[in-house]
């Protein structure tokens, strides 16, 4: 995972109905989700932005999903890729996996299975370090997307969880407001600087019992600090 980023998913799917359903499901789980409907836009997006997972349909127009996958792996990208397609023959599965896919899910699929596979791939993508981040009495599970204080679950909204994740990945270092805006939403979504201030204010109140402080760095943004035990 890119340091300082919230979990972000790119969906490359030309069926608008399926893409919309995927976006809704994944956003409800707290992920920032972007969508493109052709292979060229997928390739361009992967080259321009950082993502934590790619959900890729093989039958994309303009540039096939297999070609998108090959170009991604040629750039030595370790991005986890879930191939999602109507083609479920053994040869199609082998072709996708040989091109560099990490997992394969055939349409139609159950939402629960999709969510489980996404969690598994996110866990695999974070394998370079622990999926559990601890900060004083506070702990955060990057895969399960849950924050605990002394073992008790904190009631945080999806945006508050995203904000906490970004700050926890850069403890003791200031995070610029523009960085938070970019990583708390997907393309086409709008999160203003004022909205960030509201999310920070709400999160501060919920973290106070953990002895964790979010300080304001004037003219820059915010910094997560551990309060004195």
* Domains along the sequence of the chain with CATH: 8-125 (3.40.50.2300), 156-226 (1.10.10.10)
Pick 173 or 1 by higher pLDDT.
173
* pLDDT at position 136: 84
How many CA atoms are closer than 13 Å to the CA of 218, on its beta-carbon side? 0
As given in the structure block, the two tokens for residue 173 are: 């270092």
pLDDT category of residue 146 using cuts at 50, 70 and 90: confident
Least confident range of 129-138, 141-150, 169-178:
129-138
If phi > 0 it is left, if psi is from -120 to 50 it is alpha, else beta; for residue 125 that is alpha
Q: What is the mean pLDDT of the chain?
A: 81
**What does the block give as tokens for 24?**
């809704």
Q: Which residues contact 198 (CB under 8 A, 6 or more apart)?
A: none
With bands split at pLDDT 50, 70 and 90, how would you rate the model's confidence at 106?
A: confident
Cα distance between residue 121 and residue 219, in whole Å: 37
Alpha-carbon distance of 39 to 81, in angstroms, equals 14
């Amino acid at each position: 995972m890119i340091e300082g980023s919230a979990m972000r998913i790119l969906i490359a799917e030309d069926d608008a109905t399926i893409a919309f359903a995927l976006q809704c499901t994944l956003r409800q789980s707290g992920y920032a989700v972007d969508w493109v409907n052709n292979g060229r836009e997928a390739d361009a997006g992967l080259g321009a932005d950082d993502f934590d997972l790619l959900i890729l349909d093989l039958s994309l127009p303009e540039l096939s999903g297999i070609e998108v996958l090959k170009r991604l792996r040629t750039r030595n990208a370790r991005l986890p890729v879930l191939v999602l397609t109507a083609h479920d023959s053994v040869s199609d599965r082998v072709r996708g996996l040989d091109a560099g896919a990490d997992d394969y899910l055939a349409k139609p699929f159950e939402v629960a299975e999709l969510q489980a596979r996404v969690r598994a791939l996110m866990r695999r993508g974070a394998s370079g370090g622990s999926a559990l981040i601890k900060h004083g009495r506070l702990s955060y599970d990057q895969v399960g997307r849950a924050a605990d204080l002394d073992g008790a679950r904190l009631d945080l909204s999806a945006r508050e969880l995203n904000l906490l994740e970004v700050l926890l990945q850069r403890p003791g270092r200031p995070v610029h407001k523009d960085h938070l805006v970019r990583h708390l939403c997907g393309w086409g979504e709008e999160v203003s600087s004022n909205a960030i201030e509201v999310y920070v204010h709400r999160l501060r109140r919920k973290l106070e019992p953990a002895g964790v402080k979010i300080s304001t760095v004037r003219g820059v943004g915010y910094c997560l600090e551990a309060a004195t035990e």
